[in-house]
């Protein structure tokens, strides 16, 4: 937890937010929000504080602080620097999401209390005190949860298309967010991605009948980063939006009514980028959905859930741009970006469902030294993801998604 996150700092932040210089903080309690291995990109802290107003009211408030990883080694900081994740997220929360929420006509993310660019800090409402909770990441999301997320996502992304259409009058273009997991500026996550790729291949080699898929993954290695970059390149003929960029279970919070999910809010926009909305759908389904929802029939249904809300919202907001994509066009665009499903299912899923805390940090993910490689190898020893890895490897081979020449034809 950040040492500077003191009662004096929080008092000044609250005074600015509520425009009340008489507000006085009486009590502050700061605690970690997530355990090791549950979040790799930042430090999340829960804050309980009590303050007094000039009217003598004693108010209790619950906040969440997201702060940078201050103890990262220089090499890890250098590898992460080209992604500019901290500044990007703060800017999106400050300048973009308020506009998107206004266009969408509903809340999309937590209410922000304070943004500190110098310290790379974001302080927002603690949604758990409004009845929102994280779904259990190891259980993964069923059809009801996935449908709800895709409806919320479609509203956010339709609003982003409308906002970009008005970029000339706003003097602010969302196309500047061009640094997703794969981007043209850097391959500094290469050790992370290729290390996981080879660890996946090594695991499959130990499984009887999966030697062929293991060999295909090994042959994919020299082409992997280029194939990923191709997915992240915005296609002029496709519909592009501001994506969330890291859409998995721990980056959303649900509200329930009678045990049924009724609302969801999105959090963590560090990797948001301008590109195909289908990438977020591939990400969600292949990192966070239960196996049944990943089946071909339900995947198509989930795309339709997104598409129907997306098109409806564009019409409601008076989008005047290019012709809206039909369902058929949207399915075709999704298939053209489907290599990203390989990345999410075989490489990201083991990281996000990791249960081994040993060396579970971003430095190990980005390292190609023994500590980092051993950490990535252990990811595939997790019994809860092994069935999924085998099933996905078979499916991706059938679709020729493990072929480095998949875009070239015969």
Contact 324, 311 (CB under 8 A): yes
Distance in angstroms (rounded) separating the CA atoms of residues 68 and 79: 15
Q: Name the DSSP class of 92.
A: I
The answer to whether residue 36 scores a pLDDT higher than 70 is no
Which pLDDT score, from 0 to 100, does residue 145 have? 98
Q: Which two tokens stand for residue 287?
A: 């990192």
Which pLDDT score, from 0 to 100, does residue 67 have? 87
Confidence of residue 409 (pLDDT cuts 50, 70, 90): low
Beta strands in 9-75 (DSSP E): 24-32, 43-52, 58-67
The answer to whether residue 37 scores a pLDDT higher than 60 is no
The answer to whether residue 355 scores a pLDDT higher than 80 is yes
Residue in 284, 211, 203, 204 with CA at minimum distance from that of residue 243: 284
Distance in angstroms (rounded) separating the CA atoms of residues 62 and 154: 29
How many Cα atoms sit within 13 Å of 356 on the Cβ side? 17
Which pLDDT score, from 0 to 100, does residue 113 have? 96
Confidence of residue 212 (pLDDT cuts 50, 70, 90): very high
Mean local confidence (pLDDT), 343-369: 93
The answer to whether residue 70 scores a pLDDT higher than 90 is no
Confidence of residue 259 (pLDDT cuts 50, 70, 90): very high
The answer to whether residue 410 scores a pLDDT higher than 70 is no
Cα 240 to the center of its chain, rounded Å: 17
The answer to whether residue 139 scores a pLDDT higher than 90 is yes
168-201 pLDDT, tens digit each: 887 899 999 999 999 999 999 999 999 999 999 9
Which pLDDT score, from 0 to 100, does residue 1 have? 61
Residue with tokens 């092994």: 386
Contact 188, 80 (CB under 8 A): yes
The answer to whether residue 350 scores a pLDDT higher than 80 is yes
Q: Which fold has domain 7-67?
A: Dihydrodipicolinate Reductase; domain 2 (3.30.360)
What is the sign, positive or negative, of the torsion defined by CA atoms of 36, 38, 43, 46? Answer: negative
Distance in angstroms (rounded) separating the CA atoms of residues 163 and 370: 46
Confidence of residue 361 (pLDDT cuts 50, 70, 90): confident
What is the sign, positive or negative, of the torsion defined by CA atoms of 149, 150, 152, 156? Answer: positive
The answer to whether residue 40 scores a pLDDT higher than 70 is no
The CATH architecture one would assign to domain 75-110+131-398 is Alpha-Beta Complex (3.90)
Confidence of residue 122 (pLDDT cuts 50, 70, 90): very high
The answer to whether residue 114 scores a pLDDT higher than 90 is yes
The answer to whether residue 103 scores a pLDDT higher than 90 is yes
Can 7-67 and 75-110+131-398 be said to share one CATH topology? no
Mean local confidence (pLDDT), 48-56: 91
The answer to whether residue 131 scores a pLDDT higher than 90 is yes
Mean local confidence (pLDDT), 387-392: 97
Rounded percentage of the chain residues whose pLDDT exceeds 70: 97
Average pLDDT taken over every residue of the chain? 94
143-153 pLDDT, tens digit each: 999 999 999 99
Mean local confidence (pLDDT), 346-367: 92
Mean local confidence (pLDDT), 293-317: 96
Domain residues of the chain, as ranges? 7-67, 75-110+131-398
Which pLDDT score, from 0 to 100, does residue 32 have? 87
Distance in angstroms (rounded) separating the CA atoms of residues 311 and 111: 27
* pTM for the predicted model, two decimal places: 0.94
Mean local confidence (pLDDT), 86-93: 94
17-30 pLDDT, tens digit each: 999 999 999 999 99
Mean local confidence (pLDDT), 280-295: 97
């Amino acid at each position: 937890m950040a040492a500077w996150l003191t009662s004096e700092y929080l008092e000044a932040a609250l005074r600015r937010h509520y425009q009340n210089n008489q507000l006085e903080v009486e009590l502050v309690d700061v605690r970690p929000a997530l355990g090791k291995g549950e979040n790799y990109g930042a430090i999340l802290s829960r804050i309980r504080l009590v303050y007094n107003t000039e009217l003598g009211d004693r108010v209790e408030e619950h906040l969440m602080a997201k702060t940078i990883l201050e103890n990262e080694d220089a090499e890890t900081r250098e590898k992460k620097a080209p992604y500019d994740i901290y500044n990007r997220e703060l800017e999106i929360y400050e300048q973009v999401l308020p506009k998107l929420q206004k266009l969408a006509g509903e809340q999309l993310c937590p209410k922000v209390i304070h943004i500190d660019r110098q310290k790379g800090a974001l302080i927002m409402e603690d949604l758990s005190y409004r009845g929102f909770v994280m779904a259990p990441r190891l259980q993964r999301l069923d059809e009801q949860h996935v449908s709800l997320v895709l409806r919320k996502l479609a509203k956010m992304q339709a609003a982003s298309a409308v906002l970009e259409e008005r970029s000339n009058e706003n003097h602010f273009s969302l196309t500047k967010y061009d640094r997703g997991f794969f981007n043209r500026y850097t391959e500094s996550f290469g050790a992370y991605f290729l290390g996981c790729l080879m660890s996946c291949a090594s695991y499959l080699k130990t499984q009887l009948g999966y030697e062929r898929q293991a060999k295909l993954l090994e042959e994919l290695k020299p082409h992997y980063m280029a194939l990923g970059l191709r997915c992240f390149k915005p296609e002029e003929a496709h519909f592009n939006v501001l994506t969330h960029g890291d859409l998995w279970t721990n980056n959303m919070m649900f509200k329930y009514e009678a045990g049924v999910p009724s609302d969801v809010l999105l959090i963590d926009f560090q990797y948001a980028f301008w590109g195909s909305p289908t990438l977020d759908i591939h990400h969600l389904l292949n990192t966070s959905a239960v196996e049944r929802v990943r089946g071909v029939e339900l995947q198509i249904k989930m795309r339709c859930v997104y598409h129907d809300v997306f098109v409806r919202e564009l019409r409601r907001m008076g989008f005047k741009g290019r012709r809206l994509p039909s369902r058929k066009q949207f399915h075709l665009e999704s298939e053209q970006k489907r290599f990203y499903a390989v990345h999410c299912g075989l490489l990201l899923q083991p990281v996000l469902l990791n249960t081994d805390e040993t060396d579970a940090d971003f430095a190990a993910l980005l390292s190609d030294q023994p500590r980092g490689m051993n950490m990535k190898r252990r990811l595939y020893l997790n019994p809860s993801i092994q069935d999924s890895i085998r099933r996905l490897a078979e499916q991706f081979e059938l679709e020729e998604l493990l072929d480095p020449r998949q875009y070239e034809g015969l």
